[in-house]
Amino acid sequence: MAATPHAPVPTARGAVTAGASRIESVGLRLPERRLSTRELLDSCQHRVRVDLERLTGIRERRVCGEGEDSYTLAVDAAFDCLAHSRHGAADLDAVISTSITKYHGGLSYRFEPALSLAVKEAIGARQALHFDVSSACAGMLTGIAILDAYIRSGRIRRGLVVSGEYITSIADNARRSVRTVASRELASLTVGDAGAAVVLERAPEGVPGIAAWEFATYGVHSRLCVGRAAPGAPGAAMVTRPRKLHRVAIDSCTPSIRRVLERAGVSIQDVDWVLPHQTSVRAIRAGQKHVSAELGGWARNTICNLEEVGNTASTTHFVALYRYLEEQRIRPGERVLMLCFASGLTIGALLFTMDELGERYGHPH
């Protein structure tokens, strides 16, 4: 079926069944180096007449230093995830890598062998099947949906979804051209580097786990955000039409959210936390206002974790979730709705209920 603004192409769907899966552990790796928004703007070739911190809510971001790249961030996040898990690497039946950036050895892009193979060998998951998924910023949630389907079908018991995003090369390359708020590379200055990983397993009897998910692709809007190799420089470049991209994203997400809630048998008012893709504070607030009007209400809380990390691409949801787990803000029994907006244009929603995972991290907030 041809994609139109009003007729998405469904790419995947899932609903709660016997043997649904749950998030068993989460891992994180942030580079040590911090780069403030002020420092980033001061390093631009032209004077940028934009108060980017006020516009986005991003005060700083983490940036890879010497010896760090997509691969190292992914491996370190996987080790951290296993350190919080009841399982070891040898217990994993699958390893899925979902990085947009596949840099291994600095800014050397790795096409083959798959990055998932390098990660599984590094952590010792030698018997696990492995493959890479490329779905832009929807990557980790897409990987989780795939694992959920494998687990519910009985094909595997548990698996790891991992991503390492050395994404800040697009900011390095945008510094040469950005001048005003109308620049098509301005969004490149909002990104930060991070690694994240999740172990998914079959939920024990009586544990709700993942209730439902859905992803839809609106291919007619694929040109609104495009990544490509940077001309004449290492790394990548990204060009966007941010205002139209944001408008299309919030207009398109409500049907997916509504269907996920219907399949789970709950309303938006029954959701405790909404965790949207972390793009900018203004975008999150505008999206919340629009969807709330469409659905007749909103969840009790909205997670916003931009100030110190920026937009970390496919890892963004789990960078934020990890922090809230560490601060013990999300309690067992609370529902969390994750929303992703990715180049393509892909819209995704995933609803799960927190279990004792929320008690195994950090300290009380």
Domain ranges of the chain: 9-359
pLDDT digits (tens, 9 = 90+) for 97-153: 999 999 999 888 888 899 999 999 999 999 999 999 999 999 999 999 999 999 999
pLDDT digits (tens, 9 = 90+) for 344-361: 889 999 999 999 887 888
The pLDDT-based confidence of 227 (bands split at 50, 70, 90) is confident
pLDDT at 13: 53
H or E segment and range at residue 350: strand 346-353
CB count in 10 Å sphere of residue 6: 10
Could you tell me if 71 and 164 are in contact, meaning their C-beta atoms sit under 8 angstroms apart? yes
Could you tell me if 152 and 163 are in contact, meaning their C-beta atoms sit under 8 angstroms apart? no
The CATH class that applies to domain 9-359 reads alpha beta
CA-to-CA dists, residue 267 to 272, 274, 337, 357, angstroms = 11, 13, 11, 24
Average pLDDT over residues 265-279: 96
Omega before residue 204 within 30° of 0, cis: no
Question: What pTM was computed for the model?
Answer: 0.92
The pLDDT-based confidence of 179 (bands split at 50, 70, 90) is confident
Percent of the chain at pLDDT > 90 equals: 72
CA-to-CA dists, residue 99 to 104, 143, 168, 317, 325, angstroms = 12, 10, 13, 14, 23
DSSP-based three-state secondary structure for 319: helix
- Tell whether the torsion through CA atoms of 353, 305, 184 and 314 is positive or negative: negative
